[in-house]
Amino acid sequence: MTDTRPQPVQKLRIVFDEGEMVGPGKAELLEHIRDTGSIAAAGRAMGMSYKRAWQLVETMNAMFCAPLVVRSRGGVQGGSATLTETGTMVLSAYRDYESAARSAGQPHVDRLTALLRPKDKGV
């Protein structure tokens, strides 16, 4: 019997208060905004509507001491969006947290993985 199970994935979310959290989805959204310069393009890259992406940005902007994303209205070609210095710091802090938590948690994940029932090929 060969175990065909994929490697476990650790997904971490920091909940500050009800409705105020940062996790892998919001971090990914910030990265896409940083890379594309567009909330709409970031949403499309993640398979979400512009409205949903903008709602998440508004939530994050309201959570922190300064906005994470600023947008400028555009003309014919549309507007743009940019991560602020605070946005860059929040994204960096979250990714650093993820990395530290993964490293610290890996021995525990390994112990749990060792206790899983093996999966057979084709099952």
pLDDT at 1 over 70: no
CA 104/CA 118 separation, integer angstroms? 25
Helix and strand totals (H; E) in the chain: 4, 4
C-alpha dihedral over 110, 112, 115, 117, to 10 degrees?
A: -100
Supply the pTM of this predicted model: 0.86
Domain ranges of the chain: 22-115
| Residue pLDDT, tens place only, 74-93 | 666 677 999 999 999 999 99
CA 70/CA 83 separation, integer angstroms? 7
Residue 42 · residue 56 · CB < 8 Å: no
pLDDT interval class at 122 (50, 70, 90):
low
- For residue 111, give both structure tokens: 């112990």
Name the least confident of 4-13, 15-24, 93-102: 4-13
Give the CATH architecture of domain 22-115: Orthogonal Bundle (1.10)
Q: What is the largest CA-CA distance in the chain?
A: 61
Q: Which residue has the higher pLDDT, 6 or 12?
A: 12
Q: Phi and psi for 69 in degrees, rounded to 5?
A: -135, 135
